[in-house]
Structure 1
Amino acid sequence: MHDSTDIPLIAILRGIDPETVLHHVEALLEAGFTAIEIPTNSPRWQQSVASIISAFPGRGLFGAGTILTVDQVDELASLGGKMVVTPNINPAVIRRSGEHGMKIYAGCATATEAFIALENGAQALKLFPASCFGPAYVSALKAVLPAHIPLLAVGGVTPENLHDWLKAGCTGAGLGSDLYRAGQSVEDTRARARAFITAWQDYYR
């Protein structure tokens, strides 16, 4: 049974703005989420990251996604971010994240990419876009990866199919548009968050 206070589901708030981010993050934390990602292609992402770190100290792992450059890693570090999520494998980005002591989820699609990420210091991997590969691919990939390395599915994960990814060997998932779409209400975010947390808990019950 996993500790429900540290559920490896990352909330990806793509497109969120600093004016609304605190309300949505509060709803997510109340539902049971502990990892929040603000993608860098969101409006004024730096402001959103800084505000959630200030507003909710010690309540979760906060950082940024779609991190593509070393400069973005440094900028995130200056804001106090502790989590880096990438869509690709960039050894320089991975190494710099490690130098800052950040948790990095490196985006990969193949075994070759996965091992390049690990060789450069990634502590966790995200299979992206997961929906294009499917749970069977996860099972095959996990057969060659070090057992202790967390693998998250990102892309196309829903409350209804979360158990398929977990059963295949994923440690958790990154949740984007099925959890949050830019402009949706806080009530909608809260309901979707609860559906994912319930699906997680039901799997381990």
Structure 2
Amino acid sequence: MSELKFSAERFNQMPLVGIIRNISPEAIQQILPLYLEAGFTTIEITMNTPGVDAMIAQALEQYSDRLNVGAGTVCNTQDLKKALAAGAQFIVTPIIDKKVIRACAEQNIPIFPGAYTPTEIYRAWSLGATMVKVYPATALGPEYIKDVKAPLNQIKLMPTGGVNLANLASFLKAGADGFGIGSQLFDKKMIQEEDWQALKAHFEAFAKQYRAARNQ
């Protein structure tokens, strides 16, 4: 398990969690410096990405002074052990697993469990979630975040799935505390074509959009 701790201060500067899934280690080596230059501070590598253990360890080895590195798609305690052994500083799940949430809360490891309904969201929070990942947010949209926040304003919400440049500001205005962004941020075509300049500009557009929305 990593002795390097998650930096909440770093996360709060730019609470957008980039989700890396099925991207090659070679591509990640190209992507991470651009990601950091654009102002991002937190990255999630999913457990179903081939070579995830080495990717997490390498990202921390190179960028632990600037980057929070976590593991995503953690579905059970076996996944959790593997993620922590690799050095993951925070954990993201697609579902509510009581044992995973409790284990993280007991060890002071930030945990972002996936939930959908108000009942699931409240349960995840009650079990010790740092922030609840509202997933999939694609069909729900910003209004759903606003509706949930009305009675449950103490719960921190991180919509994931369907967050893009066009609706990022609306999600923030609706009360989102963070964002999980995968394919909308890591543009598949740009990565396949190794168009790193275009990808950097794409990252910068997201960072700029978030900062502008936050300052409104």
| 2:131 aligned residue | 124
Work out whether residues 47 and 83 of structure 2, in 8 Å CA contact, stay in contact via their aligned partners in 1.
Answer: no
Ranges of 4+ aligned residues in structure 1 off by more than 3 Å: 2-5, 181-184
| Distance apart, 1:178 and its partner CA | 0.7
Query: After the TM superposition, which residues 122-201 of structure 1 pair with which residues of structure 2 at under 5 Å, given as runs?
Result: 122-147=129-154, 149-182=155-188, 183-184=191-192, 185=194, 186-201=196-211
Residue from 108, 112, 125 that aligns with 2:115:
108
| 1:83 aligned residue | 90
Quick check: 1:16 aligned with 2:23? yes
Quick check: 1:97 aligned with 2:93? no
Query: After the TM superposition, which residues 54-69 of structure 1 pair with which residues of structure 2 at under 5 Å, given as runs?
Result: 54-69=61-76
| Distance apart, 1:118 and its partner CA | 1.5
Amino acid at match of 2:28: V
Amino acid at match of 2:168: L
Paired residue secondary structure (2:183): coil
Quick one: percent identity of the two aligned structures?
Answer: 34
Change (3 A) 1:3 1:34: closer
Paired residue secondary structure (2:57): helix
Paired residue secondary structure (1:138): helix
- Number of paired residues? 203
Which TM-score applies when normalising by structure 2?
0.87
Superposition CA RMSD, Å: 1.9
Quick check: 1:203 aligned with 2:199? no
Paired residue secondary structure (1:19): helix
Work out whether residues 160 and 199 of structure 1, in 8 Å CA contact, stay in contact via their aligned partners in 2.
Answer: no
Structure 1 unpaired stretches of 5+: none
Amino acid at match of 1:151: L
| Distance apart, 1:141 and its partner CA | 0.6
How far, CA to CA, are the matches of 1:170 and 1:66 in structure 2? 21
Deviations 1:135-155 (A, max 9, x none): 1111111112242x3211111
Work out whether residues 77 and 100 of structure 2, in 8 Å CA contact, stay in contact via their aligned partners in 1.
Answer: yes
| Distance apart, 1:5 and its partner CA | 7.1
Change (3 A) 1:198 1:89: same
Paired residue secondary structure (2:112): strand
Work out whether residues 155 and 176 of structure 1, in 8 Å CA contact, stay in contact via their aligned partners in 2.
Answer: yes
How far, CA to CA, are the matches of 2:88 and 2:162 in structure 1? 26
Structure 2 unpaired stretches of 5+: 1-8
How far, CA to CA, are the matches of 2:11 and 2:58 in structure 1? 25
How far, CA to CA, are the matches of 2:204 and 2:12 in structure 1? 14
Deviations 1:28-50 (A, max 9, x none): 11101111000112121111111
Work out whether residues 111 and 141 of structure 1, in 8 Å CA contact, stay in contact via their aligned partners in 2.
Answer: yes
Work out whether residues 66 and 87 of structure 1, in 8 Å CA contact, stay in contact via their aligned partners in 2.
Answer: yes
Paired residue secondary structure (2:94): coil
| Distance apart, 1:3 and its partner CA | 8.6
How far, CA to CA, are the matches of 1:153 and 1:64 in structure 2? 17
Paired residue secondary structure (2:138): helix
Quick check: 1:6 aligned with 2:16? no
